[in-house]
């Protein structure tokens, strides 16, 4: 299938350029996306560190309440129950961060005879007020059961401690985390003061206190969830449980462990929290030993960039389409003259008009090509004229040098050219017969089938065989008819396939044929007369020899001699008859008869005829048979 210049320019220039253009564009966009991701990751890591610091400050203020309370109890040891509850109510009511506050005394250190005393105040979520209670053995055994970290850890470490998340059933009845700090009474461990943080409300409080935090989790040193908006994750699971459930590869586990090493940064983990690829920007919370992890779904982080990327791709695609349209328009400007040049070349090739070089006025390669083609056409025309002249001269010389009359005839039977021999034979000049039908040179009413066959072959010269000849009657200018032999052959002319006719005058040949026929006829008459003159005496000899052979008075030698004369006469008569049959041979009428003969008889006849000559010379001619 042919492809136009315009299509080639678009296919081999526009599309490759567009492909390279788009490939470079996508590479640049990919590079820009990578740089944007790195920039966002760095910003998120810095933001996570800042938020972790603010969160540490936020939660540290709640811890300061417990620290101040512990120091106050140390300084004022003789507090009454109402005063203690009043302090705890103040700790809870004046601090949004604090859900509940408690004092737990070492048995026997608060009042004699009171083994356990732990006043506790917390918010009533249903009623909106504060609830007072004494955590004692009737609620749970916090004193003996080591699972209650808020009592045992500060007592063991003698410093403030943040507990793991737990559900405080019977005293608060929420999911919480507690900060507990020990206090001294009379120079010895006297108990702990605590503040409780409502983990279910922590996210809302942190987002109010620190705007722009967004979705986050807080992990303990062992990977347990201190806080997550998914309440089922808190206390019940660690981040490693999530990895196992998601069947994440070991590389993801290695990245998660980086979160818990106490440093800051960011890692991207695939489908860790049912949010697809998520960028985890993390930073430590120094006062608690926890890790703050801000969760940024990659699709959200890169949404603005991808939106702008789509706009850029759309803009560049539009520019590419505009470029192709411009190339299409410009290719039409280039292909138009080429198409016009092609049309003129095809028209000239078909012989329809001249090449119009004036239609091409540009001074570029197309204009030069048009001028070159015009020059080529002129040279080809001159060459064709020279070739035609040379051909005409060669053909004329060939026709004139031919020993026979020759004519070139077209498919309609019109004479195109003749040679001098043709003029001499028929008495017409070239001017008189050129353009006339070849049948003009034949007598009217020619009875033979020759003219019809001649016309058929002239109409289709391709049917002319290698040796096509026919005998006809020609007619000279004066009207005299004479015998001719016509030979034909196909002949290629610029106008198409024609026929060349060779005509020979058969007058002399016909005269010679008539003379030969007359001589043959005279010979036949001579032989007919001579046959009677020769056979008459020969028949007499044969007849007398037969009569003598019947004479009973002849001796044997004489009888054999008479029979020899008879047989010799018969042989001579047979020979004469064969000679007289020559006329039949010339006429093709000789009849051959197949008959059986006696070879022994022929041999005996030869012995008797030749024996006489042999005896005359004193020889014997004998014939022996096996």
Kindly tell me the burial class for residue 204, based on how many C-beta atoms sit within 10 Å of its own C-beta (0-12, 13-18, 19 or more). exposed
313, 29 contact by CB (below 8 A): yes
Structural domain boundaries, residue 150? 76-202
In a domain, 478, yes or no: yes
SS3 for 361-407 is CCCCHHHHHHHHHHHHHHHHHHHHHHHHHHHHHHHHHHHHHCCCEEE
447 pLDDT band (50/70/90 cuts)? very low
pLDDT reported for residue 196: 92
pLDDT in tens, 244-274: 766 656 666 777 777 777 777 777 776 555 5
More confident residue, 272 or 93: 93
562, 548 contact by CB (below 8 A): yes
Report the distance separating Cα 335 and Cα 4, nearest Å: 8
In a domain, 535, yes or no: yes
More confident residue, 297 or 445: 297
Is 427 in the same domain as 526?
Answer: no
Highest mean pLDDT among 55-59, 527-531, 578-582: 55-59
Q: Would you tell me how many other CB atoms lie within 10 Å of the CB of residue 72?
A: 13
The overall average pLDDT reported for the chain is: 77
The CATH code of the domain that includes 119 is 3.30.450.20
Specify the number of domains making up the chain. 4
Is 131 in the same domain as 176?
Answer: yes
485 pLDDT band (50/70/90 cuts)? confident
More confident residue, 358 or 53: 53
Q: Which of 439-448, 531-540, 580-589 has the lowest mean pLDDT?
A: 580-589
Among 443, 472, 505, residue at a domain's last position? 505
In a domain, 279, yes or no: no
DSSP state of 229: S
pLDDT in tens, 552-599: 777 877 877 777 887 787 777 777 777 766 655 655 556 677 778 777
Phi, psi dihedral angles at 105 (to 5 degrees): -95, 145
pLDDT reported for residue 446: 57
Residues 542-553 as b/e (b if ≥16 CB within 10 A, e otherwise) read beebeebbeeee
Is 425 in the same domain as 482?
Answer: yes
65 pLDDT band (50/70/90 cuts)? very high
Is 423 in the same domain as 529?
Answer: no
């Amino acid at each position: 299938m042919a492809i136009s210049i315009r299509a080639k320019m678009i296919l081999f220039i526009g599309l490759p350029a567009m492909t390279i253009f788009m490939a470079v564009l996508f590479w640049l966009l990919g590079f820009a996306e990578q740089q944007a991701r790195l920039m966002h990751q760095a910003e998120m890591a810095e933001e996570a560190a800042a938020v972790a610091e603010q969160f540490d400050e936020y939660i540290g203020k709640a811890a300061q309440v417990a620290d101040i309370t512990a120091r106050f109890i140390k300084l004022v040891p003789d507090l009454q129950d109402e005063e203690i509850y009043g302090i705890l109510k103040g700790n809870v009511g004046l601090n949004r961060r604090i859900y509940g506050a408690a004092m737990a005394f070492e048995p026997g250190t608060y009042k004699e005879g009171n083994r356990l005393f732990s006043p506790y105040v917390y918010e009533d979520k249903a009623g909106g007020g504060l609830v007072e209670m004494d955590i004692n053995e009737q609620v749970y055994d916090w004193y003996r059961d080591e699972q209650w970290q808020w009592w045992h850890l500060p007592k063991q470490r003698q410093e403030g401690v943040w507990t793991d998340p737990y559900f405080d059933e019977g005293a608060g009845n929420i999911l919480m985390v507690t900060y507990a700090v020990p206090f001294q009474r009379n120079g010895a461990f006297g108990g702990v003061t605590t503040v409780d943080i409502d983990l279910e409300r922590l996210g809302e409080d942190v987002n109010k206190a620190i705007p722009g935090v967004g979705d986050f989790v807080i992990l303990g040193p062992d990977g347990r969830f201190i806080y997550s908006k998914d309440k089922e994750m808190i206390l019940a699971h660690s981040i490693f449980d999530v990895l196992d459930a998601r069947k994440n590869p070991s590389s993801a586990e290695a990245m998660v462990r980086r979160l818990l090493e106490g440093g800051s940064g960011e890692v991207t983990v695939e489908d860790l929290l049912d949010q697809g690829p998520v960028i985890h920007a993390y930073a430590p919370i120094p006062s608690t030993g926890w890790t703050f992890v801000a969760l940024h779904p990659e699709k959200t982080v890169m949404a603005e960039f991808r939106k702008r990327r789509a706009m850029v791709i759309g803009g560049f695609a539009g520019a590419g389409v505009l470029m192709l349209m411009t190339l299409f328009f410009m290719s039409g400007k280039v292909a138009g003259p080429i198409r016009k040049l092609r049309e003129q070349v095809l028209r000239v090739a078909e012989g329809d008009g001249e090449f119009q070089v004036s239609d091409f006025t540009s001074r570029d390669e197309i204009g030069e090509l048009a001028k070159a083609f015009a020059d080529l056409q002129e040279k080809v025309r001159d060459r064709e004229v020279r070739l035609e002249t040379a051909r005409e001269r060669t053909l004329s010389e060939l026709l004139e040098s031919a020993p026979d009359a020759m004519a070139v005839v077209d498919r309609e039977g019109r004479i195109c050219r003749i040679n001098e021999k043709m003029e001499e034979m028929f008495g017409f000049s070239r001017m008189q017969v050129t353009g006339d039908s070849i049948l003009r040179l034949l007598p009217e009413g020619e009875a033979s089938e020759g003219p019809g066959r001649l016309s058929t072959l002239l109409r289709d010269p391709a049917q002319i065989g290698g040796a096509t000849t026919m005998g006809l009657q020609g007619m000279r200018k004066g009207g005299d008819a004479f015998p001719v032999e016509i030979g034909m052959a196909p002949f290629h002319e610029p106008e198409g396939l024609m026929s060349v006719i060779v005509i020979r005058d058969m007058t002399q040949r016909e005269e010679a044929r008539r003379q030969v026929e007359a001589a043959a006829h005279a010979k036949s008459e001579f032989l007919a007369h001579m046959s009677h003159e020769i056979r008459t005496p020969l028949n007499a000899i044969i007849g007398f020899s037969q009569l003598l052979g019947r004479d009973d008075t002849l001796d044997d030698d004489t009888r054999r001699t008479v029979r020899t004369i008879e047989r010799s006469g018969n042989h001579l008569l047979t020979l004469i008859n064969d000679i007289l049959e020559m006329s039949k041979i010339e006429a093709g009428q000789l009849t051959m008869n197949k008959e059986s003969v006696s070879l022994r008889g022929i041999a005996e006849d030869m012995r008797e005829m030749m024996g006489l000559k042999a005896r005359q010379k004193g020889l014997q001619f004998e014939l022996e048979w096996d």
